[in-house]
Each structure stands twice: as C-alpha cells, then as structure tokens.
Structure 1
C-alpha cells in the first residue's frame, strides 16, 4: 500500500551532500540520532507544559520535518559512510518510538481532544514499529509497510497541529481524525505482520 515512506529515496538524495559534510566535520550517525531525539523531547515538553498555547502546535510541523531530515541523514551516514553499528541500530529504533510518544502524547492534554484516542493511536504506532522490527527474527527484512508508517503519522499529526494552532476548536472532527488514525495504525500492524510472514515463507 502506498505511503509517504515511498518518497524516502528522493528525500535522501537531497540530503546526501549534507550527510557527507557532517561526516567530514567529524559528526557521527548516533550523534545525529541523539540530536533528533533531544529536539523531539523538547518539542513534546513545550506542548505538554503549554497545552493551551498555539505556538507549540504551529512549531510541530517544522520539528517533524527537521526530525525526518535528521532521521534520513543518520541513515545515510550509517550505511554509506561506514558508521553502521549494532548499538546505532538499536538506538535508532528505540529513539523513534520514544520520539513518537513525546511528540504525540501531549495532544491528549489539549482541552477538547479525545485523550483516549490519542493514547490508543500512540500505542498502535508503537506496536506497528515493533512488528516491523521483528521481521528479521522470522527470516524477513525490517518491514516499513503502510498505510500509516512514521512519515504518515508525522503528516497526520502535523496537519492536526496546524488546524488546532490556527484556532479551530477541537471537537467531533478531531475525534473522527484520531479514530481514522487508529484504524490505519491497526491496519499497518496487520500489513507488516502479513507481509513479513509472506516474505519469510518465500
């Protein structure tokens, strides 16, 4: 199923020169991953501490875009510049899950937003990522199947943040969006599990 993740090769091509410059400057892939994690935690903290403020919401799409760029850059540095390590692979997967939780759970603190759905979406997202990571354990590759992978979640929550940030009052429409996100998250878990099993069987 098509997903925003399919655009990753083009995105990486744009960032490849920057990754090379960072390597030349002595930066490490793990350092870039850490920077993305710290930025995500700071953004999440701002949303949690000021749930009624609009500026953290309007800042979120920028943070998500920068995070996506850093995630692509650390991958390029690891795979194309000899910085791939087991520690880095573990750190990368864990930081993604922690960052998602830090960036999205604060939506539950916004008055009028259905907190239960926010939590369920984050839980489904975590399970989806775990399902993808478990691919190698059953003889398959790491699965990134959609329809609601990391990039898609970033787009959905970023759009939601902008709508709330420009002053739209949360209500039934936010609940419907979150319910749709939950359904897509569950479908993603099923898709990754099924495709992983199919790949392993072959």
Structure 2
C-alpha cells in the first residue's frame, strides 16, 4: 500500500549536502537522534502548556517536519559515514516511539477531542514499530510497510494540527480522522506481520 515513506529516497537526496557538512564537523548520528527526541519533548511540552492556542498547534507540524529531517540525517550519517553501532540501533528504535508519545499524547488535552483516541493512536503506533522490529527476531528484515508508518502519522496528525492552528473550526471531523488513523495503524501492524512471515517462508523455500 502507498505510504509517505516511499518519498524517503528523494528527501534523503535533498539532505545529503547537509549530512556531508555535519559529518565533516564531527556531528554523530547518535547526537542527531538524541536531538530529535529532545526537540519532540520541547514541542510536546509547549502543547501541554497551551493546548488550545493556535501557535502551539502550529508548532506540531513544524516540529514533525524538523524531526523527520533529523531522523533521515541520523540514518544517512550512520550508513554513509561509517557511524553504525549497536547503541545507535537502540537509540533509533526507542527514540521513535518515545518522540511519538511526547508529541502526540499532549493532543489529548485539546478541547472536544476524545482523549482515548489519542492514547490509542500512540499505543498502536508503538505496537506497529515493535512489529517492525520483531520481524528481525524471526529472521526477516526490519519491516516498514504502511499505510500508517511513522511518516504517515506525522503527515496526517501534522495536517490536523495545522488546520486547527490556522482556524479551521473544531468538529467531529477531528475524532473521525483519529479513528481512521487507528484503523490504518491496525492494518499497518497486520501488513508488517504478514510481510515478515512471507519473507521468512520465502527464504526457507
């Protein structure tokens, strides 16, 4: 199924000059990973402080975009500049789910939103990333299937916050959007499980 993740190669190509500059400056992939998590906590804290203010909602898409760039940069530093490490792999996987929780859970404080839906989105997002990692334990590659991977979540939740921050009236559409995200996260978990199992079966045939 199509995913925003499919655009990653083009995004990486745009960032490569920046990555080269950072590598020559001695910046490491792990430092960039940690910076992305810290940025997420700052963004989430600002939303907690003023959950219904337009400016705090507009911060979310900005932070998500910057975080997406940092996530691409840390991976490129690791792969293209010989910075891959076991610690880096741990920080990368943990950083993603922690940063998601830090950024998205504060949305539960918005007026008229169903907090349970926000919590469910964060929970299923964590499970979907765990499913991608668990694939490695059964002999498959890390799974990244959509339709609601990390980049897709950032796109839809960022678009929601942008619309609200720009003055779009809060309505039932917000909770319906969250319900759709929940359903697509369930599909994502299933797709990643099926992809891992299919890969293992093909490798043994």
**1:105 is the counterpart of 2:105:** yes
1:144-176 Cα shifts (integer Å, max 9, x gaps): 000000000000110110111122333311111
Give the number of aligned pairs. Answer: 202
1:58-89 Cα shifts (integer Å, max 9, x gaps): 12111111111110010000011000000000
Q: Which residue of 2 aligns with 1:2?
A: 2
Give the 5 Å matches for 1:1-80. 1-80=1-80
Cα distance in structure 2, aligned partners of 1:61 and 1:45 = 14
Q: Which residue of 2 aligns with 1:118?
A: 118
Cα distance in structure 2, aligned partners of 1:25 and 1:109 = 40
Q: What RMSD, in angstroms, separates the aligned Cα atoms of the two structures?
A: 0.8
Where do 5+ consecutive residues of structure 1 fail to align?
none
TM normalised by structure 2 equals: 0.96
1:117-136 Cα shifts (integer Å, max 9, x gaps): 11101111100000001111
The 8 Å contact of residues 132 and 192 in structure 1, kept in 2 or not, is answered as yes
1:167-199 Cα shifts (integer Å, max 9, x gaps): 233331111101000000010000000111100
The 8 Å contact of residues 114 and 174 in structure 1, kept in 2 or not, is answered as no
Cα distance in structure 1, aligned partners of 2:22 and 2:166 = 36
The 8 Å contact of residues 43 and 63 in structure 1, kept in 2 or not, is answered as yes
Cα distance in structure 1, aligned partners of 2:50 and 2:134 = 37
Cα distance in structure 2, aligned partners of 1:62 and 1:52 = 17
Q: SS where residue 143 of structure 1 aligns?
A: coil
Cα distance in structure 2, aligned partners of 1:142 and 1:110 = 35
Where do 5+ consecutive residues of structure 2 fail to align?
none
TM normalised by structure 1 equals: 0.98
**1:177 is the counterpart of 2:177:** yes
Cα distance in structure 2, aligned partners of 1:49 and 1:166 = 19
Q: Which residue of 2 aligns with 1:87?
A: 87
Q: SS where residue 60 of structure 2 aligns?
A: helix
